[in-house]
Structure 1
């Protein structure tokens, strides 16, 4: 019986070891499966981006090819004119005049000049009117245009004007640069989160409309360009109709008034594609400014949370814990203020979720690294204190709802598992498999070893994990040190931009900007902007 008991005990140990190895392999398999899904999504996004970049590069190459012959022919024509004048021959618009017909040459040149002035006069008048309209648009968007429902008025007006003026389809225009300069000047005050949120809402909405509307010229699926009117007067008549020829505004914006409901895209020239790239950069910049401002605001509060652990155990008694929990309430209050600012400016919920996911990642990194770097933070009492604070953050996420908080609370997994280790009782009875697979599956062996060796119980005087568990950790750490992996036990904060233009476009449904959008007073009574009125949009 003794021999059978020993065999059974030995088999039990082998079974536990096999079970542990199997769990480790399963964990690695799950991690590999997750990485594979992420790689597949990344490859899909890269394929889409490569397709867009190829189309835009094709437009740029066509632009370069079309510019080179023009310059060559221009220089060649000047040289021909120069040689003709040296030979005594004057080249006119329709005939060649010799020195023997000087009087006729003078009359012909005068008629040609007068004819040219007559032809240029309507074009010059149209350009001046267009310049005045652009000036008025810039003055309008430089002011706070508020919102209509959840739609930022400034972005909608900019898009409608550019679409109506056919600015996306011209080879040269200054209106895009002026819009970009207006946005850049407005966000110079980097600490004003209300202004930043306002322009994040407008710039992301405008970028969304461009993403769904613009198509590089010559790209697959681009519509065939219609032949323009024969005369300048025909183009002027078209400009008064309110909607550019070949473009259905209701279908572009997702309105139910479209015939097919599909997006009819516009062939974009080089200035429009460059404007889209600049606008993308500004969306990313403003997003990072808002995120970093929130990090700066809560960083001192997180320091107060960790510094509070230096107080003696006596200060935590008799209501001291409630006093210390005030630091966590301040963090929750800062998060709420930022959320209210973003919601008041109708920032897309997709971007709001991205902000708070990165903020909670920042909180996780700051608290977890403080825990591993300072022994006073690895106490039982501090574990209870941080656990109460994490409960406050969980309540905040529940109040913010999934629409705006998303999976932000899940980003605290490192600090949650580390705190769970600090406050659990009877650590010395926990096996290596229980600690690594059930209690702290996210933490690395280096991180677990660090917490286990730094832990001290200032409340009950209990001990850390068993010596054999620490021995297993040291063996695995030695094996890991021989590999090429990263042995650092600290976490790194990710400050990258966690979204693309396609992500924004996919996250937002149809956006109707054609109806019930009242223009600002500055342009409401101007007849040149009559196409912005809902009645005119409906008639067109």
Structure 2
């Protein structure tokens, strides 16, 4: 009897290995989307539930799934593929996380409904059947989080490369510019100002890619927040490092370009742009100062409370002393204001962190699994269809339940 049981167990192990191989071969390919959700993630999750892999003490399926994702990351220049797997990995992570909070819907569990003398009793008992992850599944979840973070980090790095040269060209007004960037560009008169349109085009292309791959909105918001944070750092540092950029006319030029970014945020809507516009506060306040008329009449308190509240003393001092009037009628701030700032800077000199007027490109916005719950709900998967290729396979009939 023991040998019979052992042989049955071996046969089941072989069958499961074959089924796992079939699943891996299927999800290696682009299985697309169903009802706005990634098919691969949903199919993988249903298989993990059916095979009880999430509760298994030992299984190789997680390593094989992670290998697929890592292989996709290695082709990091392909934003479309990166977005596809970011969508799938984050969705799968969400589904696993939700299974820790509440039992998956009946139709996803296949035969795990509690038996009882009445349907009411079955419902009651079944409601307590929350998945308990074992070590392999917990490790898989941890690795999923790391890869989701890595993928949206790679997408942001790709955008940094695309935007780098455009930002360099967009920070300084052409010699003939009179602060009428938008009207000139619309008539094709200012080739340099087209760099601003290039920035907007990059943002549009990325947003379309993320939307086409149904990347959860919360992750999309974080991506653009990180990109705009990078834009803020690069542009602000350029303004306060290069005297030729720290002028009235150049301030108007940059301000007009920033208006195009604001317009893009408006078109993208809050659901995708999120807090991206707020990430530009340093460069926005800097250009607000540069384009201010009668700077000599504004008191220190107005500058710090209303005009540039987010800028540090070192940054204010740098802008005030670096600014030059290329307009002929926009004078510097008063010597009294400069004196006040200098005195306050001296008082704060013991604070090492306040010694630099430059912004640091930390580019750090941690990812939280709980962020996904604001973009996804379990009920949103009720009409999602699993991979058609597997649904026709006899061993995967549970996918159709």
TM-score, normalization by structure 2: 0.89
Within the candidate set 470, 476, 479, 2:344 is matched to 476
1:450 matched to 2:313: no
Give per-residue Cα distances to partners, 1:389-445, cap 9 Å, x unaligned.
000000000000010001211111111111011111111111111212111111111
Deviates more, 1:361-370 or 1:183-192: 183-192
Separation (CA, whole Å) in 2 of partners of 1:266 and 1:364: 44
Equivalent residues in 2 for 1:221-300, closer than 5 Å:
243-245=110-112, 264-300=129-165
Separation (CA, whole Å) in 1 of partners of 2:315 and 2:19: 63
1:157 matched to 2:25: no
Within the candidate set 386, 392, 395, 1:525 is matched to 392
Separation (CA, whole Å) in 1 of partners of 2:386 and 2:99: 22
Correspondence for 2:75: 189
Equivalent residues in 2 for 1:424-443, closer than 5 Å:
424-443=292-311
Equivalent residues in 2 for 1:102-501, closer than 5 Å:
115-214=1-100, 243-245=110-112, 264-306=129-171, 308-309=172-173, 311-313=174-176, 319=184, 322-483=190-351, 485-501=353-369
Secondary structure in 2 matching 1:460: coil
TM-aligned CA distance change 1:396 to 1:212, over 3 Å: same
Secondary structure in 1 matching 2:215: coil
TM-aligned CA distance change 1:498 to 1:312, over 3 Å: same
Give the conservation status (yes or no) of the 8 Å contact 1:380–1:422: yes
Q: Residue 482 of structure 1: CA displacement?
A: 3.4
Secondary structure in 2 matching 1:442: coil
Correspondence for 1:63: none
Give per-residue Cα distances to partners, 1:487-520, cap 9 Å, x unaligned.
2111112322432112223443334435451432
Correspondence for 2:119: none
5+ long unaligned stretches in structure 2: 116-122
TM-aligned CA distance change 1:150 to 1:490, over 3 Å: same
Give the conservation status (yes or no) of the 8 Å contact 2:177–2:253: no
Root mean square deviation, CA, Å: 2.6
TM-score, normalization by structure 1: 0.67
Give the conservation status (yes or no) of the 8 Å contact 2:248–2:330: no
Q: Residue 119 of structure 1: CA displacement?
A: 2.8
Secondary structure in 1 matching 2:269: helix
TM-aligned CA distance change 1:467 to 1:322, over 3 Å: same
Separation (CA, whole Å) in 1 of partners of 2:68 and 2:179: 53
Give per-residue Cα distances to partners, 1:366-394, cap 9 Å, x unaligned.
10010111100111110110010000000
Q: Residue 127 of structure 1: CA displacement?
A: 1.2
Q: Which has the larger radius of gyration?
A: 1
5+ long unaligned stretches in structure 1: 1-114, 216-220, 223-240, 249-257
Separation (CA, whole Å) in 1 of partners of 2:372 and 2:362: 20
Separation (CA, whole Å) in 2 of partners of 1:212 and 1:316: 52
Where relative contact order (Cα < 8 A, 6+ residues apart) is larger, the structure is 2
